[in-house]
Structures are given as structure tokens and as C-alpha cells.
Amino acid sequence: MPGNERKKPPLAVRLALAAGAPLLLLALAEFVVASLDVAPFPEDPIVVWNGPRDREMNSPRGEFRHHPNWLWEPRPGVIVFGAPINEGGYRGPYYPPRKGARLRIATLGDSSTYGFNVAEDVCWSRCLEAILRAYGCDVEVLNFGVIGFTAVQGERLYLGRVRDYQPDVVVAAFGAVNEAFTTLPGLTDLEKIARVSSFGYRLRQFLLRYDFFRLLDSLGGKPAEAAPPEAPGTAERVAPEVFEQTLVDLNRAVTADGGRLILVSPPRRQDGVDFLKGKGDEYTAAIHRVAEREQIPLADVLAEFRRLDREALGEGAESLPRALESELFTDGWHPSLKGHRAYAVVVGQALRDAGLLPFPPEDG
């Protein structure tokens, strides 16, 4: 009878129930799998950095995390050498993107800029800030250095984040070693960025945050993308010609934003030189070519470190046994505390010579 017919719920309610049921099942499946702890640790379909670092980035407690546009970045809040990465994702004091009247300098670079194995308050970026302030210059220095970074990653970081901080000056310190490394899966940095920034890769990485999808992924075997298109170790992360063009592109971007670029010729100890078997010289030459051709101020830290070593060690500083005694390095590339101070002095002098300081400080 018509009076006994049950009234159907509204269409919106039925649609909500239809959509909610699968989500409820997925939530239940996630709870069960997580409780049983049977999901494997997530693995990347390609080697983004290297095996240990990739596993670290897949952990919520790792020092670094994935980023689709520049491969990896420091994880905010993680304690690094005694202090946390700030909310902006870089080491040192946090400065808001909107800047005031103070001269703002942003430093881009690899582990030497990041301050590998040293506290941030003694790395060259912070030393530069302290030196300039001691001279009376009202400046702030934002340390955007990242361990393992190349110029390609640095340019992407500038375009995607650093430019939002409106720096008056950008100091770029690349070409010491990372660019010359041959890549484990045979992919250059540009090729890796193209892959990890694709929608399919990003969706997969999002889903693999959940235990249930990691379990399904492991049951399905390795994805086809895991097989590299080339034999391992067949390409530099950034070829010298790509490195040179990247510096040119970075300069154009900084200039278009109303800032000025300073290039750094980064230092290597003699064992670092020998390790690269001469390949590092190609990147150093590219830095000098770009600086001269594009009229970009150059901070030649490499030349100054060699001069200081010759002064301290004698002419034997150019040989490997004597170079190991250098007080400016902790290994083939990374500056010591004394090295960071010397690094900052050279960059400060370049800023002064280029007329980029509020006033030219006297020598002291």
C-alpha cells in the first residue's frame, strides 16, 4: 500500500553514503594494516638522492624531505647540529618573506653553505652577516644552502621559494663537487626533476604515505619506472655546459626581480681536486666565464684559500700531503671554522667591490 512505502532519503544523502562507504573501508583497511605493522618501508621508483638519504626522506623524522621541484629540502623543525630548521625551511634565524628597509642577502649553495658538521651560527653565511653588521651595515643573511645541492637545484629553489623573500643580493656558491658526480641511476638532475614533478609520481608518493597502499604496492612488484634508461654512472648530475647556462639563467631571474647576483668560485682542498680527476676545473672555468661575460661580481674563494694555504704551509701546499694539513678545511671540500670565516671575508669583499653595501667599509 502507498501508505506503507518507505520514503527514500534525499539524493544528496544517498550520494554522500555512496562516496563515504569506500572511504570508510579504506580507513578500516589502513587501521588494520598499520596495527599489524606489515607494510614495508616505502621505496622510491627512482634513486632521487641515494639509498640512505632516500629512506631518510621517506621518514617523517628525517633531516630532509622530498620536493618535486628541487628534489629535496631541509625539514622544518628537525634539529641540525644543535638548532632546528626554521619554519621557512632553511637554517638560521627566520626572516619573514616581506622584507623591510634592511639589506637582505640570500645565500644559495651546497653543504659548504648549509654548514656541514658545524653550527649554523659559525657557517660563512652567518659570519658574513656578523662581519657586515660589525662594520655598521644594516643587513640580514638568509642561508638557503642545502646539502648535496647542485646549481640546477639552486636555480629551481630560487625560482620557487627564495625570490618570495625579495633578496637585494643573491650569492650563489655552486660547482665545488656535486655537479661532477656521476649519477647512480644514470639520470641527470634535470631528468630527475622532470620525473618527480610529474603528476603520476607525485600521486604515487602521496599514496605511499599510507600503510595500506604501501602493502598493495609491494604485492604488485617494482614499478616499471624503477629500471633506469641508462647504465649506472653514465652521466654527471649537471654537465659543465648545463651548469654554465644555469648560472646565466639564474642571473637573468635575479636581475629581473630587481636583485643582484654574486657568483662564488668555491674552494677545494688538493685531495678534493685529485678525487675529481680534473673535472672540477671545468666548473670553475665556467664560473669565471659567466662572471666575465655577464659582468657578475665574483668572490674567488678558491683562489683565496689557495693563497692562504701557501702562506701558511709554503709552496708545498699544492701537493696532497701538505694540503691535508690545511686549517681551512675539514675534508676535501668542507670549510673548517677558520675556513668559514675566511669564506665570509672574501664574499664580503666582493659585495663591497661591487658597491652593493650601504656604504664601503674601511679595511680592517
pLDDT in tens, 234-256: 579 999 999 999 999 999 999 99
Q: Which three cell numbers stand for residue 119?
A: 653550527
Give the chain's residues under pLDDT 70.
1-9, 11-24, 26-45, 184-185, 200-234, 320, 359-364
- What is the predicted pLDDT for the residue at 325? 82
Please, what CATH class does the domain formed by 104-181+237-353 belong to? alpha beta
d(CA 26, CA 316): 68
Q: Which three cell numbers stand for residue 280?
A: 672540477
Q: Using alpha carbons only, give the angle 352, 356, 360 rounded to the nearest 5 degrees.
A: 40
Prediction pTM value: 0.82
d(CA 43, CA 54): 8
d(CA 64, CA 57): 5
Quick check: 347 and 356 in contact, CB under 8 A?
no
- What is the predicted pLDDT for the residue at 223? 44
Q: HSE on the CB side for 212, CA within 13 Å?
A: 9
At 273, phi and psi to the nearest 5?
A: -60, -50
- What is the predicted pLDDT for the residue at 227? 37
CA distances from 307 to 192, 197, 285, 310, 315 (A): 38, 43, 18, 5, 10
One-letter identity of residue 343: Y
Quick check: 47 and 225 in contact, CB under 8 A?
no
pLDDT in tens, 206-238: 666 666 555 666 665 544 343 333 344 457 999
Closest CA to 350 of 289, 298, 306: 298
- What is the predicted pLDDT for the residue at 6? 62
Domains of the chain, by residue range, sit at 104-181+237-353
Q: Which three cell numbers stand for residue 206?
A: 602521496
- Percent of residues, the chain, with pLDDT higher than 90: 59
**Helix%, strand%, coil% for the chain, nearest 5:** 50, 10, 40
- What is the predicted pLDDT for the residue at 114? 97
d(CA 217, CA 72): 23
- What is the predicted pLDDT for the residue at 234? 54
